[in-house]
Amino acid sequence: MSICAADPSVSGGQRIFTIAVMGNPNCGKTTLFNALTGLRHKVGNYPGVTVEKREGAVSGEPSLRLLDLPGTYSLSARSPDEQIARDVLLGCLEDTPRPDGVLIVIDATNLERNLYLASQVLELGLPAVIACNMMDLLREAGHELDIRELSQRLQAPVIPTIGHRGVGIDKLKAALRDLCTAQRSVNRPRQWSLHEELEKEVRHVAAAMTASGFASPEGANGAALLFLSERELPANDHLPSLVSHSLSEAQERLRVHPELDVSLEVTAGRYAWLGELVDACLKRSERNLHGATDKLDRIFTHKVWGLVCFAAMMGLLFYSIFVLARPLMGLIETGVEGLQQFTARHLAAGPLRDLLTDGVIAGVGNVIVFFPQICILFLFIALLEDTGYMARAAFLMERIMSRVGLPGKSFIPLLSSHACAIPGIMATRVIENPKDRLATILVAPLMSCSARLPVYTVLIAACLPGNPWTKATVLLSMYGLGLITALTMATVFKKTILRGPTPAFIMELPPYRVPRLSAVLFVMWDRSKVFLTRAGTIILAITILLWAATHYPQNAQRAAHYEAQREAVLASGAADAESRLEAIAREEAADQLQHSYAGRLGRLIEPVIRPLGYDWRIGIGLVASFAAREAFVSTMGVVYGVGEADEATPSLHKRLREAQWPDGRPLFTPLVAVGLMVFYVLACQCVSTIAVVRRETNSWRWPAFQLAYMTGLAYMGALLVYQVGSALGIGS
């Protein structure tokens, strides 16, 4: 089995060379990748994981294809990112052939730690080029780096670069071209030694790797050391049996040497060698490399000012996605409505017109209406990440969030979810630990988003007695309920289904950098686009489905009945013909909805929602809310025959207050209204959320679970409110 022998991919008669790009987080790898590819690349996912896969051709060099690997500190496989990076380099990842070479990006201002990863990669024997980035910062501080010496000692070409200014890019391209022309593995023997026993086992395993074709003779020692330094055999069925046998035997033999501390051997040995290497290449000046960062951190992580600045920044973020996005969203909504009216006017009445206006155009509207919020949030996040403040935010919030078992980085996604869970869930990408990320995704939709506000407003205005203060208190309680439930559920999930050892919090606080507008905008666009292409399609499909559910089946008899009424009005020539026609249209819409699939579903679930104090009409509202929660308001407008309505329509308030059960009891009592609000706080009635969770977790399992647990919570919550309230005789 030769998994590693990559077939040369050929395109248009020209051999395509794949070069993997590796580097530590914050080393400027992405900036270099963008500079080399000229911002043209594809974003995808590695199979089965949510690690992003970015590929692009070097601009002006169509035969050179770059594959941007996740930023990592080492090649040991403890996180999905690291595992992907290692497996790609070793050529044992499905769908991704072993690269023809590597571009290793190192941060010149942090050589030892960056070279730790670089030297691990170099020992794998692949043809390699090293980009020594951030040379400007090094020179400004008066340090001198002997590039030639560094290159000689590492046995690979080193190109000094300044990524954001494009300095060194041409030389880098030339070096990558040379690398592909030479095209052969390079033997770079490890220049530091291990414990005798470990050294022996490395040779054994390396022999098995070479014999089975798993690694090249030049890279086998490096690969063998990587696997041997893991405590357990990798759960990786891509290893040839010869290799896995030899590995487990070697580890068995190593276990009888308790004095042999493998972790210490492989890390301390490498760092000792790197310490000497850097001393020989770098002439340090007295000046501090990170003087500005130290000064800024005195404010941003200060006991008082740090928290004040953080609160101000989060306030600004919240304000922007909540308030600034509004006019843009309004604009989009107006545009969508205009388009609907346009098609309604220019197409003949019929199923096709309805499908286009109320299904397709409304569906597209449902997708792009989120776009302003998503763009603004990602703009903020990109800014926070690019400046280095994101790590400080996590540093400040770590303690508070750890109380509920979440990492500090969950704060921003959860805060943003108050505007909308869609961008909030997408923002969880900043959380490295998969279980922490999943827990955050699962509870994010419990935060009261802006789509719930119209529902709260209409119910409070129409159904609750009392002065404005009482009403405001109820509204705030709904936000509080969402927040408290989310934090409680996070704790529950982290203690049950997402239980695991608390991941160590080992986070670099990178130096502050001036953000570059182009890079920030690029990241914003890159991530927002993913929403449109991946989640958008699902949202569109489900919106069309829900539209069909509220408009079908249609009944010719009913249509004829209303048509006859209309003709009678027109024939009578009455002065109030127009208003009577409108009344007929409202009645017909209500009639149609009641007899539609959604209407039938509303009746079908009536026995289930009866204990909550709801009738089938509210049932229809609940069903229709899945398109978007605010659809509850417009659906109630149709059900109660007030036509087009929003939360401020007085006629809708009146009709809700007057609504009755068949026996004459009022339907929307204050108790039912509060119970309904609690239901809306807790329920996951949002197809867009489901679509985004599907996209972000790469499976239907988690969105299904989320829908189930949130619906369960909502039902229990509303049941509790109604039954306890009724028993105590409150608010009936």
Partner 1 sequence: MTTIPLDSLNAGEQGHITGLAGAPDVRRRLMEMGLTPGTLLRVVRFAPLGDPIDIEVRGYHLSLRKHDARQIMLLRQ
Which residues between 149 and 168 bind partner 1 (CB under 8 A)?
Answer: none
| Peptide bond preceding 553 in cis form (omega within 30 of 0) | yes
Closest CA to 44 of 534, 441, 425: 534
Contact (Cβ atoms closer than 8 angstroms) between residue 21 and residue 69: yes
Q: Does 264 bind partner 1 (CB under 8 A)?
A: yes
Among 391, 406, 530, 624, binds partner 1 (CB under 8 A): 391
> CA–CA distance from 289 to each of 109, 118, 292 (Å)?
7, 22, 8
Count of residues near partner 1 by CB under 8 A: 41
Span interacting with partner 1, options 50-58, 108-116, 153-161, 193-201, rule CB under 8 A: 108-116
Q: Is residue 255 within the footprint of partner 1 (CB under 8 A)?
A: no
Closer residue to partner 1 in complex, CB, 506/517: 506
Is the CB of 313 or the CB of 569 nearer to partner 1? 313
Does the protein bind partner 1 through residue 500 (CB under 8 A)?
no
Q: Which of 117/667 has CB closer to partner 1? A: 117
Smallest gap from residue 378 Cβ to partner 1 (A): 25
Number of other CB atoms surrounding residue 500 within 10 Å = 10
Per-residue burial over 237-276, b if 16 or more Cβ lie within 10 Å, else e, is ebbbebbbebbeebbeebeeeeebebeebbeebbeebbee
CB of 231 to partner 1, least distance (A): 6
Q: How far apart are the first and last CA of the chain?
A: 74
Q: Choose the stretch contacting partner 1; rule: CB under 8 A; options: 204-212, 321-329, 399-407, 710-718.
A: 399-407
When the beta carbons of 394 and 676 are compared against partner 1, the nearer one is: 394
Q: How far is Cα 73 from Cα 131, in angstroms, rounded to an integer?
A: 16
Residue 68 as a binder of partner 1 (CB under 8 A): the answer is no
CB of 108 to partner 1, least distance (A): 11
Do the Cβ atoms of 124 and 221 come closer than 8 Å?
no
Beta bridge partners of 61: 58
Q: Does 347 bind partner 1 (CB under 8 A)?
A: no
Beta strands in 201-320 (DSSP E): 282-283
With beta carbons less than 8 A apart as the criterion, state whether 548 and 65 touch: no
CB of 397 to partner 1, least distance (A): 9
Pairing of strands 144-145, 282-283: antiparallel
295 binds partner 1 (CB under 8 A): no
Residue 508 near partner 1 by CB under 8 A: yes
User: Is position 263 an interface residue for partner 1 (rule: CB under 8 A)?
Assistant: yes
Residue number, 69 or 474, with CB nearest to partner 1? 69
Q: How far apart are CA 31 and CA 26, in angstroms?
A: 10
Considering only 16, 364, 492, 507, the residue that binds partner 1 (CB under 8 A) is 507
CA distances from 504 to 437, 489, 511 (A): 15, 22, 22
Closest distance between partner 1 and the C-beta of residue 544, in Å? Answer: 48
Asked if residues 400 and 427 have their Cβ atoms less than 8 Å apart, the reply is: no
CA distance 682 to 622: 13
Q: Which stretch binds partner 1 (CB under 8 A): 498-506, 538-546, 568-576, 615-623?
A: 498-506
Q: How far is the CB of 515 from partner 1 (least distance, A)?
A: 19
Stretch of 302-310, 434-442, 480-488, 554-562 contacting partner 1, by CB under 8 A: 302-310
Q: Which stretch binds partner 1 (CB under 8 A): 294-302, 526-534, 572-580, 717-725?
A: 294-302
Binding to partner 1 by residue 665, rule CB under 8 A?
Answer: no
Take residue 143 and report the two structure tokens written for it: 């340090």
- CB–CB of 180/101 below 8 Å? yes
Residues forming beta bridges with residue 698, ordered by sequence position: none
Of 37-45, 180-188, 358-366, 501-509, the segment contacting partner 1 by CB under 8 A is 501-509
What tokens appear for 302 in the block? 């200060």
Question: In the set 7, 12, 196, 231, which binds partner 1 (CB under 8 A)?
Answer: 231
Q: Under a CB-based contact definition with an 8 Å cutoff, are residues 120 and 90 in contact?
A: no
Tell me the pairing of strands 14-15 and 10-11.
Answer: antiparallel
CA distance 243 to 250: 10
Which of residues 400, 472, 484, 497 is near partner 1 by CB under 8 A?
Answer: 400
User: Tokens 């036509």 identify what position?
Assistant: 643
| CB-CB neighbours of 474 under 10 Å | 18
Contact status, residue 128 vs residue 156, Cβ threshold 8 Å = yes
The binder of partner 1 chosen from 74, 221, 635, 688 (CB under 8 A) = 74
Does 346 bind partner 1 (CB under 8 A)? Our answer is: no
Binding map of partner 1 across residues 110-149, x = CB under 8 A, - = no contact: x-xx--x---------------------------------
* Interaction between residue 366 and partner 1 (CB under 8 A): no
Minimum distance of partner 1 from residue 265's CB (angstroms) = 10
User: Which of the stretches 129-137, 268-276, 417-425, 721-729 binds partner 1 when contact is defined by CB under 8 A?
Assistant: 268-276
Q: Is 343 in the site for partner 1 (CB under 8 A)?
A: no
Residue 402: CB minimum distance to partner 1, A: 8
Helices 291-300 and 305-319 sit at what angle, rounded to 10 degrees? Answer: 80
283 counts as binding partner 1 under rule CB under 8 A: no
Q: Does 398 bind partner 1 (CB under 8 A)?
A: yes
Measured distance CA(693)–CA(409) in Å, rounded: 18
Nearer to partner 1, 31 or 109 (CB): 109
Asked whether 444 and 414 are in contact (CB, 8 A), the reply is yes
Rounded-to-integer distance, Cα 325 and Cα 422, Å: 14
Contacting residues toward partner 1, per CB under 8 A: 73-74, 76, 78, 109-110, 112-113, 116, 231, 263-264, 267-268, 271-272, 289-290, 293, 297, 301-304, 306-307, 391, 395-396, 398-400, 402, 501, 504-510
